[in-house]
Amino acid sequence: MNAAAIQRLRRTLAGDQAAYGLWVTLESASITEMAVALGLDWVVIDAEHGHLDWRDIVAHVRAAVRSETVTLVRIAELNPALIKRALDIGADGVVVPWVETADQLRQAVQFAHYPPAGTRGIGAERATAWGQAIAEHIAEAGENVLVVPIIETVHAGRNIKQMLCVDGVEIFFFGPADYSSTAGFAGQWEGPGVAEQINQIKDTIRAAGKHCAVVAARDEDLDNRHRQGFRLLGLGMDSGLLISGLRAKLSRLNRDRGLSSSLRAGIAQQPKPQSNVSPLRRPPERMRPDRPEKMNEPGSGPRSVLSPGVMFECLVGSHNAARNLTTGIVTFQPGAKLPYHVHEEFSESITVLSGTAEIEVEGRVYCLGAFDNVTIPRGLAHAAANASADRPCILHVAMPTDDPGRQLVTRHYPRLVMDQDSSGPTGAERVTRLASAAQYEAGPGTSFIDYFNSDLMPGIEMSGGYARFSEGGRLPAHFHDFDESITIVEGTAVCMVEGRRYLQSGYSTALQPRGRVHYFVNEQPEPMGMVWVYGGPKPERIVVDECCATAAGNPWKAQEVLSS
């Protein structure tokens, strides 16, 4: 046991300072040795998941001997034999998974302490210098051994006040992914509402004078967790850091294809939008907008007949001063077709809003339903048709230009009907199907899907996707370094723009110019859905203080002149 390192960690936490660590899952003890040499405050050696055996674990523990790094072992389950063995080989403490009640936590503490305080047996192993320092180790272990439960279920969160009454516990780890799973959102790091629940539990723990630990999901999450009050902060998992480093190199070579569960290179992973984690006090002056927002109701935009039975209504475009962005609604009457054409200078996104569409791209035929999307790079010939002979089909289209145009194509392409499960890249186009698309949370009560951006489709000039908001779901106050179009395709949205409140529904489309501070919220019990498109290739959202979205805190109030 490294009592000096444990005391150093406690002093750091008592001063409300961050203690940084690493989650170790790979067998090479060189990983822990590197962490120690780099001055990390702690490591957790994971013996619950993965393939580490006790020979691997003791090698990691040895790598931290005589250092200032605390070494913890995450055991597989609440079990006296596992706790005893981890401590006997010299670990400074144990991380205990799936602790849900005060009684379970009390047991863990007892298993980690020698009598009379607990039930740990005395062994002649590394911790006691192979039996040569038994009395010394028993004395230091009683005061220093760390028992760290993981709060990773909704049930555990509900019992946190009782668990805080258990003596001998000073640190609580959080497992957001497992917590999300027990909340009904398996596969999500923090499902809808989970971030708020974890923050409430964290606040309760801190109010009791104890400390909270979590592994950051990504770099920006590290800053966010520190701001929230987490003080034991994991920089990541060894395997994850290795993979992210490799993928960063591959991305520079245009060869990043991600991983699938088959351990084969798969399609590019859907990235979460980048945003600043610590909100800016206000947008920088250089972002001052030069145009007001525009709320565009269906029927208000210019219309044009693209083909017999095919009508396009432009809702965002040059007519309302949009820059590098055109979006609108295309209505196909039953059986109507739009012939093959090409956009030589820009790409196009097509999202089905209702009905069933057949989209052909150089002969490849995709049958798409509601909220499925196909995105077509510039220069690729394509056509569209309503697959129904008796019902209209409605599409949302977006193009990164304020001067759209098309050239008809007379070339014949042999038809190849693509499988209904086809998604991801096929030709140069990208198909995203709602049923199988990766989702992420961009704000409490939200579920986002990326259709297209420069990570998913290198060289594309815009980014966009679909989002669904449950009751109370909302985004933080933010702005962009480009124009944005937001079309409400389900339910009713409240759009707040610097204190100005708008209600939108039924394909109403907002144009948010560069620099305008805004957010969307669903105040209704029914879900609200939107199709959003940015006039920039990366889905970057710059978060600002909430007051910037109010009339009193409007950052552009001075010198602001709004035209009609």
**CA distances (Å), 224 to each of 105, 203, 219, 467, in order?**
28, 15, 9, 23
Phi and psi torsions of 281, nearest 5°: -65, -40
Give 487's strand partners: 509, 531
| Residue 49 is a catalytic residue | yes
Q: Quick check: 289 and 513 in contact, CB under 8 A?
A: yes
Half-sphere exposure of 203 toward its Cβ, with a 13 Å CA cutoff? 8
Locate tokens 């669904």: which residue? 468
What distance in Å separates the CA atoms of residue 479 and residue 516, rounded to the nearest whole number? 6
Task: Write down the catalytic residue from 49, 51, 60, 396.
Answer: 49
DSSP for 460-484 reads -S-EEEEEEE-TT-BPPSEE-SS-E
**Positive or negative torsion for Cα 34, 37, 38, 42:** positive
Three-state DSSP at 56 gives helix
Q: CB burial class (10 A; 0-12, 13-18, 19+) of residue 270?
A: buried
Give 172's strand partners: 212
Phi and psi torsions of 526, nearest 5°: -85, 150
What distance in Å separates the CA atoms of residue 144 and residue 127, rounded to the nearest whole number? 13
Amino acid, single-letter form, for residue 398: A
The set of long-range contacts for 9-12, using a CB threshold of 8 Å and a minimum separation of 24, is 9/41, 9/42, 9/70, 10/170, 12/41, 12/231
Q: Which residues are catalytic?
A: 49
